[in-house]
Structure 1
Amino acid sequence: MKKLIAIVLIVALCAFSVFASGNQESAPAKSDKKVTLTIWNSSQTTADFYNEVVTPAFLAQHPEVEKVEVLYTPIADFVKKLAVVLPAGDVPDLMEIEDSWATPYVTAGYFEENTKELDAILGQMMPEFTQCITYNGKHYGVPSAPFHELFYWNLDMLKEAGYDYIPDTWDEVVEAAIKMTKRDETGKIDVSGFSMRLGGNPSGTTQKFWVLALLGNGVDIVEESKTQPGKYHAGFDNEGGYAALKQYIDLLYKYKVDDFASVKDTAAFAQGKTAINMREASSSNSIKTQGPNINWTTSIMPKGNVQRATFLITLNWYVPKDGKNKDLAREYIKLATSREMFDLQVSERAALNPYKDADKTKGLDERLVPSFAFPEDLKCYTVPVLNAYDSCQVRVGEALPNVFANESLLDNPEGIKAEIHKLAEIVNDALKEYDEYAE
């Protein structure tokens, strides 16, 4: 049955009514006129979840609402749309936007500050999520669909390589990837040992380099100035950044566990064309559909050369200042971010439950459980509210493929340091454009 939603919704509605009554501001005024609540987002899976699960419950609670329209737009077009519609005021009632994409519009004043009710919900969530929605001491938005980076492992390939355990340090990962890389009779890689993000969506390329290499080596994309708080500079023009880029170059040209021609990412894993893939948990749904016979499990990010780390990125709910139905939009947020709805998101979408006291493995596919049991040594990073941050990600992501393709960087410390410096200058230049730079 479509996920036994009907039964669960009844439970969710009852539980939510208790939740909502405990910390209630004035409820939105009722009207005889039926309204349509409009929502825009860039995630098909969350749009489906809202249409199938949240909206039916919302309509049952709010008979004054005739319908809820969720308009999904692919990421590239959605980002362009934001730049046009928000300044023009041609907005929906509610928007779901990835944290760094929303920042310029938060700082420009296009979204409503959280009400006390929404802040009360936020206060029950992991404190890391507060950073990406706080500006000038005020909160704008509530996490709607958090996710983190993790490792997927092909268990049959691991076993064939002689492993009866999941490698847990970066050195162990590299050793396993070398053993699991397979080539055809011409020497071309047929199955990569590790599927590397070497291009494609620029932000995604940067994010993968960020969490796999930069964070594991103890450095971040930006770091705050010690002399001018609130200003930033590139955080990786140093030994940590050098080690991060060397890590990628060595994987490609010394250990040769992947190349530019190989099938990539989730598609590769689902086809049995890679042994290890780094991705968020929601890609497990594609693996189940596209590769039902793949024997897999997951793990938390391995311990890098300096630390074990991952990022926490989230789509957030934002209420536009020019929206027509702000009270109802907030009611939708309250329902969509209730504990009951996040329990369903975990089971249906493999989302990360943001509530501090939640069992983050409850309802998960058992193969995902190891990657949701956060160990004490895992350091979690989120993005700061910087106007330049998205530009930093995009510009670095546009430059990285050419850097990765430069085989002359192998065993070339000075060359690697020079490339890292160039990438850092890209970040610094973006920060300077937004007057957010300081040493």
Structure 2
Amino acid sequence: MSEEPRKRLSRRRFVALTGGAVVASGILAACGDNTATTAPAATTAAATTSAAATTAAPAATTAAATTAAGATTSAGATTAASGSPAAFNSGFTVTSDNITLSIWADDAGMAPWYQKVTADYTKLHPNVKFDIQAFAVRDFETKIAASIPSDSAADILQGSPTTLRKYIEPGLIPKTPDSVAKTVADTKIFPAELTGNMQFNNAYYGYPFYQGRHAIYYNTDYFTAAGLTTPPATMDDLTTYAQKLVKVEGGNMTVSGLSLRLTGAGSGIAEKFMMFLYPNGGNILEKTADGKYHNAYNNDAGLKTLKMFIDMVYKYKTDDPKVKHDSDAFETGATAMFARESYVIGEAAKKAPNLKYNTTPMPKGVRWGDLSSPINLFTSRSTKNADTAWDFILFSQQEMYLNLLLTEVGWIPQRQDYTYSEAMKAHPQFAAFTFKDPNYKLFVTPAIAPFDELETKLADRLSKAFLDSSLLDNEAKMKQMLADAAKETDDILKKANLYGA
């Protein structure tokens, strides 16, 4: 994808810089017949984070759910205290035939994690081997577009509910089994905001796996030098802090106060805009009373957010399209703050081990929360071993493997009844992504087929607007830009018969 829908590019980039390959190399030798696609070259991530400071997240913590020996987990499986695979029982009957389960993942960086988990599963069931293929997102989408309708897809598919929706609606993806659906529906285990996107015609499809979440990263040395003793808590703080943190030498910006996503291809510009649009009270889309959608940014919230971007570039001069941006800027000290997903924690451990930084939740505005981009596991209609596939899916979601996912791959599990203590001990900065507070709301983008198109087209308009200095203090021109973009968004929805007034 140009910058494929909602954060997957950064996922691949993260794993290419963390310890995934070392995990994979140790597992490939132990896996026997298990195979995997070649993932991007990687190196070992540092065992500790670049900064040892405690995260500035609110004091609320995740509910504990450590499983005692032989106890039944809320997924219906039993797990020994040691985490031994031999103690696992999902309630599904595993075939006694010699089979190979195929897995296709929509993230090339996930191959090493699957190698570890499938190796343990094969120790428990030596008759079950695996064929793992992990793709770049666009390649995955091309692969399933040809194979799902022809019943030649893998047994297990990892992907976003938005991507799979076009196959769920015509019945090409099986429903979640009833015994598993009970777990999915349990809001003590999975956030309802995320599982809602898994439903179609009152049935669940797939199993919740991990999610992209965001936080503000900030350089603690720069904060100290600027006399800032607390992280930004509000949208107003971001603007104020950025002005105190920006550094200019000889007329050139050497450190931006807040690195914004101003340029680039794909939908990522609109996604990063949405992260600040939400606390201002807007969104890209909102659901209408008839269950359809219309734009939710051609309003005061959209204007306020666009004005923030324009002001920070042209009035306050806390960012500049010409300077380094994103994680590269943060890790090299070229920006004091930026908002991004959790992958940066592992990336910084590798690229900037001496960087002193911390994280804090996304700031408050008229509301408080963050965009979550869920990734789920599905079985295909063509699988001949559905029970074994579901047994493996549940096996892979034990706490020990989700801790491995968080620590070594950097993605936040959707499951919220585990403590993830191992990952938190290694990387305390994860707390800003995993904390729980009743006032902090997660939201997701609608699982509708045209969302990627409308988000990408909005991103194109935004990138041009961010480079247009004539928008500064020109409210009429900013309103017109938003109105034109909103019309395009709504026209795409109308074409798909998804527009509601």
CA offsets 1:119-162 (integer angstroms, 9 cap, x no match): 13313312111112111111111122223111111111111111
Partner residue in 2 for 1:301: 362
Pairwise CA distance, 1:45: 3.5
Q: Which residue of 1 aligns with 2:109?
A: 45
The SS at the match of 2:231 is coil
Using a 3 Å threshold, how does the CA distance of structure 1 residues 217 and 146 change in structure 2: closer, same or farther? same
Alpha-carbon contact 2:95-2:385 (below 8 Å) kept: no
Question: What's 2:295 paired with?
Answer: 234
Contact 2:412 2:433 in 1 (8 A): no
The equivalent position to 1:210 in structure 2, one of 274, 281, 284, is 274
Q: Please report how far the alpha carbon of residue 355 of structure 1 lies from its aligned counterpart in structure 2 after TM superposition.
A: 2.9
Offset of 1:35 from its aligned partner?
2.0
Q: In the TM superposition, what whole-angstrom CA distance separates every residue of 1:370-415 from its partner, at most 9, and x where no partner exists? A: 4432333212101223222222222222332112212111111111
Structure 2 counterpart of 1:56: 119
Whichever residue aligns with residue 389 of structure 2, its letter is: A
**Distance verdict in 2 for CA 1:360–1:148, change over 3 Å:** farther
Q: Which residue of 1 aligns with 2:346?
A: 285
The two structures have a TM-score, normalised by structure 1, of: 0.89
Aligned to 1:320: 380
Does the CA contact (< 8 Å) of 2:104 and 2:134 recur in 1? yes
Partner of residue 246, structure 2: 181
SS of aligned partner of 2:113: helix
The AA in structure 2 aligned to 1:55 is T
> Deviation of residue 218 (structure 1)?
1.0
- Out of 327, 335, 340, the residue aligned to residue 400 of structure 2 is 340
What fraction of aligned residue pairs are identical, expressed as a percent?
27
**1:279 partner amino acid:** R
Cα deviation for residue 363 of structure 1 reads: 2.9
Are 1:154 and 2:219 matched, yes or no? yes
Residues 257, 414 of structure 1: CA spacing in aligned structure 2 closer, same or farther, 3 A cutoff?
Answer: same
Structure 2 CA distance for aligned equivalents of residues 350 and 9 of structure 1 = 25
Change (3 A) 1:192 1:324: farther
Cα distance in 1 for residues equivalent to 2:321 and 2:201: 43
What is the deviation of 1:103? 2.1
Aligned equivalent of 1:225: 288
1:5-16 matches, within 5 Å, as 11-14=82-85
- The alignment partner of 1:277 has SS state of strand
Structure 2 Cα separation of the partners of residues 96 and 201 of structure 1: 25
Change (3 A) 1:361 1:129: farther
Task: Find 1:17's aligned residue among 76, 88, 103.
Answer: 88
Amino acid in the other structure paired with 1:225: T
Q: Judge conservation of contact 2:88–2:395 (CA < 8 Å) in 1.
A: no
2:472 equivalent to 1:410:
yes
Which digits, 9 at most, give the CA deviation of each residue in 1:281-301, with x for residues without a partner? 122111111111110110011
Structure 1 residues 369 and 79, CA gap change in structure 2 (3 angstroms): same
> Aligned Cα RMSD in Å?
2.5
Whether contact under 8 Å (1:16, 1:335) holds in the other structure is no
1:191 aligns with 2:255: yes
SS at match of 2:294: strand
CA apart distance, 1:75: 2.4
> Which residue pairs with 1:95 in the alignment?
157
- Counterpart code for 1:215: Y
Q: Report the Cα offset of residue 340 of structure 1.
A: 3.4
Which range moves more in the overlay, 100-109 or 289-298? 100-109
User: Are the structure 2 counterparts of residues 9 and 267 from structure 1 closer, same or farther at C-alpha, using a change threshold of 3 Å?
Assistant: farther
**Conservation of the 8 A alpha-carbon contact between 1:177 and 1:257:** yes
Which residue identity is paired with 2:499? Answer: Y
Q: Does 2:445 align with 1:393?
A: no
Cα shift at 1:101: 2.2
Structure number with higher helix proportion? 1
Distance in 1 of aligned mates of 2:142 and 2:458: 19
Structure 1 distance, partners of 2:183, 2:466, is 43
The Cα shift of 1:209 comes to: 0.9
> In the TM superposition, what is the alpha-carbon distance from 1:252 to its structure 2 partner?
1.5
Amino acid at match of 2:205: Y
The structural deviation recorded for 1:79 is: 3.0
Alpha-carbon separation, structure 2, partners of 1:378 and 1:361: 22
Task: Give runs of ≥4 in structure 1 deviating > 4 Å.
Answer: 1-6
User: Which secondary structure does the structure 2 equivalent of 1:143 belong to?
Assistant: strand
Asked if the contact 1:353–1:360 (Cα under 8 Å) also holds between the matched residues in 2, the reply is: no
Q: Which runs of 5+ in 1 are unaligned?
A: none
Structure 2: which amino acid aligns with 1:272?
G
Unaligned 5+ runs, structure 2: 1-18, 31-78
Q: Partner amino acid for 2:226?
A: A
Task: Measure, in 1, the Cα distance between the counterparts of 2:263 and 2:392.
Answer: 37
